[in-house]
Amino acid sequence: MKKIFRNRAFKALICVIVALSLGAVIAAYTHNNSTPLSSATSTVLHPLQRFSSYLSYKFSNFNDSFKSSKTLAEENSKLKEQIEEYQNKIIDYNNIKKKLGTYEDFLGVKEENPDFKFQNAKIISNDFENPFASFTLNKGTAAGVKINDPVIYGKNLIGVVASVGPTSCTVYSISNPKMNVSVYETYTGEIGYVTGLGKTEDRVYCKLPGLKSDSSVSPSGIICTTGNGGVYPKDLIVGTVVKLENSKEDGSSYATIRSAVNIEELSEVFIITEFEGQGVITITGD
């Protein structure tokens, strides 16, 4: 190592570097009219100044971006609140509209049957295994409800009260196998009875058995109550004929009836607590 420092070539290289550095300082001084020290200092600090300016610019942009993001977040929050408010208003509107429709149908039935006395009720639960077979209402004996009171929605027969407590009652729908309703087909006038088909995949279905082979009952025929027996008033709509099939038991035909009302979509119904001709009990509660 000592040999390198003592080498003439190395010493000459050092002298060249010193001379070049000194020349650069003098040139900078004569050009800028500044002291060599200040010029050298400026030369050294210039990159740092540029880097500082760059950081300041970036920080300024970040600050603006941060403020913009905060503003957008506040605006989004306000928009979400407005959307929720509008959604709640739409829900309220739809509920009111639905309730008004229910009461309009009720008023129509009341005008046609001034002898009817009603009690409105809300559905509070359905049969877990078969929601179409039975459901519970929030009205009972305290509201004048009793066993065998018909339950309707508009002009449609939904079912009948099968058991009742002080503040609630259980209703068998027309798809319940325990139901037995005297009916007629409005076009042909043929009389029979309908009974529930039990568990069904959708809607409420019942059947009109015992039809003769030459029966004129056909799909799209409307089935209504006859009023016989004193449990159901006359002319409540049970449903529409969807198909005719032959019974394997006795060779007769039967019609499958579908209710015009989907029980799963109902929230409120009416119980007929009194009507002219009411009195004959054909169904008992459990």
For 239, residues 6+ apart whose C-beta sits below 8 A from its C-beta are 156, 174, 204, 205, 206, 222, 223, 257, 258, 259, 260
Q: What integer best gives the mean pLDDT of the chain?
A: 77
- Residue 42: pLDDT above 70? no
204-252 pLDDT, tens per residue? 788 898 888 778 889 999 999 999 988 999 999 999 999 988 877 777 7
Helix (H) or strand (E) holding 142: none
Compare 106 and 9 and report the one with higher pLDDT: 106
Q: How far is 197 from 208, CA to CA, in rounded Å?
A: 10
Mean pLDDT of 6-15: 54
CA dist 148 and 274 (Å) reads: 11
Share of the chain above pLDDT 90, in %: 33
b/e 72-85 (16+ beta carbons within 10 angstroms → b):
eeeeeeeeeeeeee
What's the pLDDT tens digit per position in 131-174?
678 899 999 999 999 999 999 998 999 999 999 999 999 999 99
| Residue listed under structure tokens 């037995």 | 180
Dist. CA 35–CA 26, nearest whole Å: 9
Average pLDDT (195-199) is 79
Q: Which two tokens stand for residue 43?
A: 């030369």
Closest by CA position to 139, among listed 117, 165, 162, 160? 165
207: nearest Cα among 217, 215, 197, 198? 197
Amino acid letter, 264: E
Are the C-beta atoms of 2 and 10 separated by less than 8 Å? no
265: DSSP letter: G
